[in-house]
Amino acid sequence: MSEELVQATILHVDMDAFYASVAELDNPQYKGKALVVGAGVRGVVLSANYEARKFGIRAAMPVGRAKRMAPHAIFIAPEHHRYAEISERVMAIFNSFTPLVEPISLDEAFLDVTGSQKLFGDGREIAAKIRAQVEQEEGITCSVGIAQSKFIAKLASQHCKPNGMLEIKSDRILEFLHPLPVRALWGVGPKTAESLDRLGLHTVADIANTPRSTLVRALGDATGESLYELAWGRDYRNVIPDEPEKSIGNEETFARDIDSPEEILAEFLRMAEKATARLRERGLFAKTVTMKIKFADFTTLSRAKTLPIGIDGTHETYEIVKKLYLALNNEGARIRLVGVSLSNLLDEAPVQLELGARERGWRDADTAIDKAKARFGGGSVRPGRLITGDSGDSEA
């Protein structure tokens, strides 16, 4: 006798205006006021509470534009260490209900609770318990979508924010999904939306009722196939716990455009220092180093170099970034942002370092600097060219 097929129960848990909520938690005087996390006219909004969103302010919007929309709002700099601290505790709550937790960012995760229901109740009961525990222990709220797939669960959480819970049962998926605009589908960005609009496809139902072959011809094999499947609510991806980080990076938007190669290289060194410190903290090594630049006209350019072995040192990373930047031969160009990203990550030390290659001395110095910072603070030891002061940065 064959076993009965068990339908999956997936939760998507999303913290409500996470960075802003943490700021309100630490500063109760902000509650009830329009609050935006994002500092500097040239920076971007990282989070906005729901009071600020009433004025149209959204994440990723330039801070300067947000200030014009709500000049009376409170604008504060981010505190990444606090977000990481609370996120770690929230993820621990999730893991107390199921080992199948797939973090998407600091403030959201997918949970497969299919096998947890004998212990904790059905999906709605588990979601309610998680929401209550997060609010009781951390003082912030979250919204939870419940469905049989990751795609529908995430859509459900978006439709019940803030501080809500929505379950989409299997027999209601198409009723819920088909009236939504095409942008609700994963993979539909501005360009794809334009292509769909030219085809006269404006809702998910329009896509579902278009022949698969037509979508493939218009959008390409991968996009056409994916959108057709999603339009019928079909998403077979599993929740993957503890997925390794794909990249570690830092970037900075300057308060003013800069065109001095010396200043630009100093900023690249700063970004390399921050990124590699995070790499070493996680015990990882990177084989690919990427340099990113955004010019004054908002044109963005990146260059990357992949190495035969992984590295984790500030000096060697900076030297690669420096060569990539100088090879552009664009002295005098005005730049508004620089970034350094490390990818192709490994969790094993390269043989060259174990054998004591010439970079060993730099690596020992980095280790000593990391220890000094841990004991005396982040600004206690810096490369010589960076001791003139620090600028704000954002994690990639």
Instruction: Report how far residue 229's alpha carbon sits from residue 243's, in angstroms, rounded to the nearest whole number.
Output: 25
14 in a known ligand binding site: yes
Locate all alpha helices (DSSP H) within the chain, ordered by sequence. 18-26, 50-53, 63-69, 80-95, 117-120, 123-138, 150-158, 173-177, 190-198, 204-208, 212-219, 221-231, 261-281, 314-326, 351-354, 360-376
Determine the residue type at 196. L
How far, in Å, CA of 38 to CA of 392, rounded?
A: 10
DSSP lists the bridge partners of residue 76 as 37
CA 168 to CA 154: how far, in whole Å?
11
CA-CA distance, 255 to 64, in Å (whole number)? 11
Distance between CA 345 and CA 249 in Å, rounded? 12
Q: If you search the block for the tokens 């003013």, which residue do you land on?
A: 256
Which one of 24, 51, 108, 252 is the catalytic residue? Answer: 108
Is 251 marked active-site?
no
Integer Cα distance of 191 and 203 in angstroms: 16
The verdict on whether residue 107 carries a ligand-binding annotation is yes
- Would you list which residues are annotated within the binding site? 14, 107
- Would you list which residues are annotated within the binding site for Mg(2+)? 14, 107
Give catalytic residue positions: 108
